């Protein structure tokens, strides 16, 4: 099986003779029409958002129980905190994971947790406890679980079925002397409004109008 996967470009041998995934799955995912449409309409909006709030922005979808970064833009500032395009992130460590999980029904959430794999009980419970608040607010805001001094802001993008198909997120760094910086509440409101606009362009609300 590994030989076939290598022949087809999905797996490669690293320098220490260990198997690792290539970016082939990432490329295949981008050829899927809904994802291609999402990245096509999100790029310009994300760059405008990054420029307005002076923060880096990334766009995530769920894939196999983890988050996949399918788009990323930087802000004009010299000091950046960005997430690598194509990165795979555990759902329990992220605001994006909370945003996407918060708008799932019980069956879909249970399936996501199964795909995500075993996790320490306290982290799983904290993740689940955060979801009602995220759903009620319509966004996730809180200290980064991986980096000190960073506030994660994330909001969902919905498609025409009303499903949250992606999350737009900024790992907001608190700059001390940048004239372009905006406060967290203002950055959050602009991010949420950007996601509402992207959702409309993805057809959100169309099913309810039929």
> What is the pLDDT tens value at each position of the chain, 210 positions in all?
888 888 888 888 877 778 887 877 666 655 555 677 788 889 899 999 999 999 999 999 999 899 999 999 998 887 778 888 889 999 998 999 999 999 999 999 999 999 998 888 999 999 999 999 999 999 999 999 888 889 999 999 998 889 999 999 999 998 887 777 899 999 999 999 999 999 998 888 754 444
CATH superfamily of 33-209: GAF domain (3.30.450.40)
Global confidence as pTM: 0.80
pLDDT of residue 21: 78
pLDDT of residue 178: 73
pLDDT of residue 14: 77
pLDDT of residue 194: 97
Q: To which residue do tokens 């990323």 refer?
A: 72
Q: How big is the CA angle at 162 (ends 56 and 166), to the nearest 5 degrees? A: 25
Residues of the chain with CATH 3.30.450.40: 33-209
Paired strand residues for 69: 60
Q: Is 21 helix (H, G, I), strand (E, B) or coil?
A: strand
pLDDT of residue 41: 85
Where is 164: in which H helix or E strand? Answer: strand 164-173
Determine contact, residues 169/60, Cβ cutoff 8 Å: yes
How far apart CA 89 and CA 71 sit, in angstroms, is: 14
pLDDT of residue 129: 97
* Contacts within 8 Å (CB) and 24+ apart, 68-71: 68/26, 68/29, 70/26, 70/29, 70/30, 70/35, 70/38, 70/39, 70/166, 71/39, 71/42, 71/43, 71/46
With a CB cutoff of 8 Å and minimum separation 6, the contacts of 41 are 198, 201, 202
Q: Is 71 helix (H, G, I), strand (E, B) or coil?
A: strand
């Amino acid at each position: 099986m590994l030989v076939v996967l290598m022949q087809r470009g999905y797996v490669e041998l690293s320098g220490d003779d260990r198997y690792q995934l290539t970016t082939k799955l990432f490329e295949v995912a981008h050829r899927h029409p809904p994802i291609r449409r999402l990245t096509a309409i999100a790029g310009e909006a994300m760059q405008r958002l990054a420029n307005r709030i002076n923060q880096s922005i990334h766009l995530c979808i769920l894939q196999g129980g983890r988050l996949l970064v399918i788009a990323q833009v930087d802000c004009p500032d010299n000091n950046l905190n960005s997430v690598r395009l194509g990165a795979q992130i555990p759902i329990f460590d992220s605001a994006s994971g909370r945003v996407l999980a918060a708008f799932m029904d019980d069956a879909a959430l249970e399936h996501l947790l199964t795909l995500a794999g075993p996790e320490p009980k306290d982290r799983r419970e904290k993740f689940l406890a955060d979801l009602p608040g995220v759903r009620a607010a319509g966004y996730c805001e809180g200290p980064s679980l991986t980096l000190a001094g960073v506030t994660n802001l994330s909001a969902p993008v919905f498609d025409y079925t009303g499903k949250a198909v992606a999350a737009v997120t900024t790992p907001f760094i608190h700059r001390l002397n940048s004239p372009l910086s905006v406060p967290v509440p203002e950055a959050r409101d602009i991010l949420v409004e950007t996601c509402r606009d992207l959702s409309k362009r993805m057809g959100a609300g169309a099913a309810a109008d039929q």
